[in-house]
Amino acid sequence: MTRLGLLALATALPGMALAESHMDEGAGGALSYGERPFFLIDAMEDGPLKEELRSCQGQSPESTAFSIAHRGAAMMLPEHTKQSYVAGARQGAGIVECDVTFTADQELVCRHAQNDLATTTDILVTDLAEKCTSGFTPAGEGTDAAAECRTSDITLAEFRELSPKMDASDKSATTPEEFQGGTAAWRTELYVPGAELMTHAESIALIDSLGADFTPELKAPSVEMPYDGFSQEDYAQKMIDEYKEAGIDPSRVWAQSFNLDDIKYWIENEPEFGAQAVYLDDRYEAEDEDEGLIDPMDPSSFKPTMQELADMGVNYIAPPMWMLVTTDDAGEIVASPYAEEAKAAGLEIITWTLERSGPLAEGGGWYFQSVTDVIDDDGDTYAMLDALAQDVGVVGVFSDWPATVTYYANCKGL
């Protein structure tokens, strides 16, 4: 039984049994770690954790809700596509994420942002480019190439005409065709051909068939709300309604939002789903009347406090990894004051995003910023993961390559 399943307010044991039977015989196929976890283990410094992880090399992969597929398996496959979701489940992710936004006709689709079509699809080299909010602008002296294309610029039928690609752009491009490039060298375009975009409803059917559970994120609209009479509350409700229409038990759904008002809406209006709603914490950069900028190392800056969040009915909080950790005098990665305050208030912690930084030789970048001084190479992926699991006590980790987390969780019995 997974830690996240144990901690869910509604028991997840039936979901795990479903996952095992579906993964044996369903659309996902046999589970596989692939090479990645072993590459990372080999890169680790010698020590007890490396030896423990090495000792598990003969284990058979098992699906675990501790491993969450971030946009599917987005390290190597186009994010939020059928193929990316299948790959995430095949790597043992017990929960798969669809980021949810809407089209011009208010249909829900899976995209990381409402305005990302220029970098995640081929829209700029199709006839639909003329519908983009801001058409392609070539790079010039001192300016980067740019474009903005929103799902709300097109209908669902038009969305289905697009082909997905790796999320990237060539900022030096002088033509829309050149703008299609820019994929990082540590990613790949090998798995782009044939990838398929998905509606939110289609993602529910697919993820269910894979035996995994769901963590949809209600994305902030790029358009002013209400949009053609479609309010923020309508939007939040429609996302939940699609799970109800599909007959999905609320215990299998962890609905997410950076907007605390969305979380409170679900708690009040859809309490079975609201009990597992996940407050994505971006207070490191964003504030409004209800949420203030915070310093993860200074609990006195927290607005609202962790206890105030718990008193609102929030049960799950999900900050980026760096907010949860710091280093001690010995140079070990340990829980931050933010993490300690969340635990003291009884909040369950989920975090993002492992395997998104690329090679870690230069400290890991944004996701590792609070511990960058002790991050030297790719083997430190497991040092970070171990600190998050053992010291912080997270109940789930988003990853762009879920096999890494699955292997660790299986080895540790999570």
* pLDDT greater than 50 at residue 23: no
**Residues in contact with 224: Cβ distance below 8 Å, sequence separation at least 6, in sequence order:** none
How far apart, in whole angstroms, are the C-alpha atoms of residue 80 and residue 111? 6
User: 8 vs 351, which has greater pLDDT?
Assistant: 351
pTM of the model: 0.94
Amino acid identity for residue 205 in this structure: A
Is the pLDDT at 6 greater than 50, yes or no? no
- The residue written with tokens 């008002």 in the block is 261
Which carries the bigger pLDDT value, residue 14 or residue 312? Answer: 312
* Bridge partners (DSSP) listed for residue 253: 214
pLDDT for 95 beyond 60: yes
Average pLDDT of the residues in 141-162:
98
- Whole-angstrom distance, CA of residue 341 vs CA of residue 27: 41
Q: Which of 222, 246, 248, 247 is nearest to 235 (CA)?
A: 222
Identify the pLDDT of residue 29.
73
